Structure 1
Amino acid sequence: MAAATRRRYSVKKKKSNSIVGPTSIKWMVGLFLVLLGIIIINQSKDYLLYYFGFKSKHSQLTATERKIEDERIKGIVATHADKIFGIDVSQYQGDIDWEKVEAKDELFEIKFVMVRATAGRSKRDAKFKENWLALTQTPYIQGAYHYYRPDENSTEQAQNFIQTVHLRKGQLPPILDIEKMPKGQSMARLKEGLQNWLTLVEQHYGVKPILYSGEKYYEDFLKEDFPEYEFWIANYNPWKENIEPHYLFWQFSEKAAVLGVDELVDVNVFNGNLDQLKKVCLQKSSLK
């Protein structure tokens, strides 16, 4: 007798009462992470841009942005009441009326000014000669800096600065600005070039130059290899409130409003008072 054929019944799965399934959870987590990333990048954009060697180019701010930046500057000035402040300029600030220069609303008192002199092996800042000469007629302590181009010859870059800038007693030591990553060489070779520039310039002026860079660049590439040098560090992070004890200068904003200047200006705090800054300056002229 043939075995009875068993019927197979399909088992229906119970529908989950949960509205949110595994796929929905993944989408929600992903969306949260994207939104969190956008918030972090937006709030830290100046810091991140500086790490990669870019400065944002704002010719003007909205009224709200201006208020926020002024409040930040005001807060840092109050926190550093025992220290002094100054600005740095280049051809990007255009024509400057030095007789009118002072911080708008007197947010801070300008005591020193750094001026870009040269860049790379052959460029001279279009406004350097004009700014440098005008500053000698002001009470500000003045300094000059060179913008280093990583893939250009370091000896030629040093000569460009030396031939352009004649420092006198009472002026700041020469300053080397390094922001960019090299494209045609390794970081090791870049550091050799930086050291060559620093050595040649020190031999000429008789004083160690100051190194300028962004805080992340300094931490990652310069701190360990240039321990004998003073640093001028840029960090525009809105959460940073104090200059680090081992920094000579801190550039904390690139958006200061200054009378006599149509464009926005970088503002810096020196890690000390006026008498201490004078001790940093050259004790004799470099003119030979």
Structure 2
Amino acid sequence: MKRKLVSLVLALAMIASLCTTAAYATDTSTITSAPMTLDSTKLALRIGESASLTASVMGCIMSDAVLTSSDPNVATVMGNTVTGAGLGRAVVTATTSDGQTATCNVHVVLKGIDVSAWQGNINWSSVKSSGVDFAIIRTGYGSEMWDQQTDAYFNANYSGATANGIKVGVYHFSYATTVAAAAEEARMCLSILNGRKLDYPVFYDIEDSTQRVLSRELLSSIAQTFCSAIESAGYKAGIYSSPSIYNSNLASSILDPYDKWVAHWGVDVAKYSNPYTMWQYGSATVPGISGAVDQNYSYVDYSSVNQPTTPVEDPSQVSPDTTFKSDTTYPYNFGSNSSYIYKITTNSASRPTAVSSNPSSVSVAFYQKTTGGYLYKITNVNQGAAEITTTLGSLSASFTANGKANGVISDTTHPFTIKRGATYQFKFTPNGTSATPVFTTGNGSVLKPVLTQKVGSSYYYKISGVSAGCTGVYSTLPGQQAVRQCVITVA
């Protein structure tokens, strides 16, 4: 009897130990939250070019991340490959099964430079070979002394660029603080052009410190005076400036007819909310040019006869599609199944984008193309309602999906680091199901299981760090795919 009593005491002590140490790591590492990231937050592609994006947490690749594009007419997504479809801007979002997200700004563009006498002699053949599509060339600056303030390299730059098949536009640097001075600058610019053919607009460069103190009404009138004179001469006119000046001194509707070229360096997308057709995003070296030269993206093919006559928020145009409907419009409630497939019927060659308003309850992902449209799969993640919206340009279709509590809840979800040889114990609790889950690690050479023990309705799963690397801990219910519960790095 004494031995049985001792055995009972030891068994009770073991259970108590499991329950009180469920979230205890034997090393001294601090559990820290780490966001999911993409290996690029900005991509620049030409139409037809592709690039891959990989999502990770603390260097561990998230293989369950699904990529979607905010506008498939600009950028399409297939797996982890992003392809330029049409000129414009789009955001590609990676979403994991547990609701983590990360984004990348995708620019589908023509690539160009802007040059002046500061670059000296340019080897335009080398510039063309490097992949430059267009060049914006300075005509000159101000208007006081035309012979001295005409750019000394304008003629050579124009001739060299056009002779090598590079599309050309120009800019004129302004010092004007009066409407009369702006009219004179326009006269000087047109005199320098002397009727030359241009592919890109004539841009009015407004950035001088003397202009920053002018009122919005005056500086806007100055810009309008120059641009109006340029367009009266048969050229397309535009304005170059920074977001700060656009949003203050040039914030006038009288300038809406003119294209905007925005200068904003060191960001993934220009911080200017109004329409713009070109972005000067930084500087870099280019073969054939000594030193760094300004770099630009154009979201409009100005040499195309199909170019828009006025800038739009997204320069790519969505072709009309009179057929766009979902086969699911009423709310969908998950039953014993964990997923559901719905169809979007459309005659568009571009794949619509589907998003969930609450991916922590119901996630959505493209499934496959089918006759007459596209299939999308929604997956039950946890209890809660989500609005599933599928869009193509201005067209959209939505329905509500109600997720049910049916999964395994972990007491630890944030990524963390342990040392080799150290252990950590998880507490997993099935929610809404009586099925027995299976627990695994994604890479047994990095993490190995030490113990799996059921206590009451919960499971205790202890792992040990084996070698340097990172991997996930997964739970799998019968008939369902594995769900990543946590990401662990072994240092």
1:226-265 equivalence runs, <5 A:
226-240=255-269, 246-253=275-282, 255-265=283-293
| Structure 1 residues 54-105: Cα deviation after superposition (integer angstroms, max 9, x where no partner) | xxxxxxxxxxxxxxxxx999844565463211111111111111111158xx
Alignment equivalent of 1:131, drawn from 137, 151, 157: 157
CA–CA separation in structure 1 for the residues paired with 2:199 and 2:295 = 18
Q: Which of the residues 169, 176, 182 maps onto 2:210?
A: 182
CA distance in 2, matches of 1:184, 1:212: 14
User: Which consecutive unaligned segments of at least 5 residues does structure 2 have?
Assistant: 1-38, 46-50, 52-104, 310-491
Aligned mate of 2:125, from 99, 104, 118: 99
Letter in 2 for 1:117: T
What is the 5 A alignment of 1:13-28? none
Q: 2:141 aligns with which of 107, 112, 119?
A: 119
> Per the alignment, do residues 277 and 80 of structure 1 end up closer, same or farther by CA in structure 2, a change over 3 Å counting?
farther
Question: How far apart in 1 are the matches of 2:207 and 2:40?
Answer: 24
Q: Which amino acid aligns with 1:174?
A: V
Cα RMSD over matched residues? 3.2
What letter corresponds to residue 295 of structure 2 in structure 1?
Answer: V
1:193 and 2:222 are equivalent in the alignment: yes
1:145 aligns with 2:167: no
Which structure has more RCO (C-alpha within 8 Å, separation ≥ 6)? Answer: 1
Give the aligned residue type for 2:263.
Answer: A
Q: Supply the AA of the counterpart residue of 1:194.
A: A
State the Cα distance separating 1:170 from its structure 2 match.
5.5
Alignment of 1:1-288 (within 5 A): 75-77=43-45, 80=106, 82-101=108-127, 109-121=131-143, 122=146, 123-151=149-177, 153-169=181-197, 171-182=199-210, 186-187=214-215, 188-204=217-233, 206-225=234-253, 226-240=255-269, 246-253=275-282, 255-272=283-300, 276=304, 279=307
Q: CA deviation at 1:238?
A: 3.1
TM-score, normalised by the number of residues in structure 2:
0.38
Q: CA deviation at 1:142?
A: 0.3
- Residues 207, 127 of structure 1: CA spacing in aligned structure 2 closer, same or farther, 3 A cutoff? closer
Q: Distance in 2 between matches of 1:129 and 1:72?
A: 40
- Supply the distance in 2 between the matched residues of 1:73 and 1:257 (Cα, whole angstroms): 22
**Alpha-carbon contact 1:231-1:248 (below 8 Å) kept:** yes
Counterparts of 1:228 and 1:274, CA distance in 2? 16
Amino acid in the other structure paired with 2:265: Y
1:93·1:263 contact (CA, 8 Å) conserved in 2?
Answer: yes
Assess if the C-alpha contact under 8 Å between 2:243 and 2:272 holds in 1: no
Q: Distance in 2 between matches of 1:276 and 1:114?
A: 17
The alignment's TM-score, normalised by the length of structure 1, stands at 0.62
CA distance 1:277–1:81, shift in 2 (3 Å) = farther
CA drift at 1:223: 3.3
1:275 deviates by 6.4
Corresponding letter in the other structure for 1:146: H
SS of the aligned residue for 1:221 comes to coil
Question: CA 1:189–1:170 in 2, change beyond 3 Å: closer, same or farther?
Answer: closer
Distance in 1 (CA, whole Å) between partners of 2:268 and 2:107 is: 19
Give the structure with the larger helix fraction: 1
Greater Cα shift, 85-94 or 158-167: 158-167
Rounded to whole Å, the distance in 1 between the matches of 2:289 and 2:295 is 13
1:13 aligned partner = none
How far off is 1:208 after superposition?
3.9
Q: How many residues align?
A: 205
Distance 1:126 1:113 in 2: 17
AA matched with 1:124 = T
Amino acid at match of 2:277: L
Q: Which amino acid aligns with 2:152?
A: A
Task: Work out the CA distance in 1 between the residues paired with 2:155 and 2:267.
Answer: 34
Gaps of 5+ in 1: 1-70, 282-288
Aligned 8 A contact 1:76 1:242 in 2: no
| Further displaced range: 164-173 or 137-146 | 164-173
Is the 1:118–1:125 contact (alpha carbons within 8 Å) kept by the matching residues of 2?
yes
Q: Percent identity?
A: 25
TM-superposed CA distance for 1:259, in Å, is 0.3
8 A contact 1:155–1:196 mirrored in 2: yes
Q: Judge conservation of contact 1:87–1:266 (CA < 8 Å) in 2.
A: yes
